[in-house]
Amino acid sequence: MGGAIAVPGNMTPVGEFNTIADAVAAARIYALTSPDPESTMPPFGSATALPDYPPAEKLGDRRLRVIKFPLDITQNHSLRRDEVHAKVGPLAEKGSPLAEWVRAFTEFCFVKTE
């Protein structure tokens, strides 16, 4: 979670609870997506108990890849069995544990809602 795109936020017009409740933690996570995390972190008036960021040269290409899921992901969405099978089936057949779980979970949901 982290914000809202096509729907109102649940705390402010565009703000989502988790980000607003701990803006410092959110800022630290987002900063770690930068080649130089320290340059993107907002300044603090006093010292914090948080560890310093690793220097940019030590971080190298090990930056975090953050994928944000907006608040509207929690809204109802249409999901068809044939679409799930087409996308997840080949990955499950190759042995992906996540794809196997998604296939089992969605199949259970399809059977339950039919």
Residue with tokens 């608040």: 71
Scanning the chain, the segments in alpha helix (DSSP H) are 17-21, 23-31, 37-40, 56-59, 81-93, 97-113
Q: Using N-to-C axis directions, what is the helix angle for 97-113 and 81-93, rounded to 10°? A: 150
Mean pLDDT of 42-60: 65
Q: What is the pLDDT of residues 59-114, one digit of tens each?
A: 666 677 777 777 677 777 788 999 999 999 999 999 999 999 999 999 998 998 87
Mean pLDDT score of the chain: 78
pLDDT at 42: 65
pTM over the 0.85 mark: no
pLDDT at 45: 56
Mean pLDDT of 44-62: 66
Query: Between 80 and 9, where is the model more confident?
Result: 80
Residue with tokens 């982290």: 2
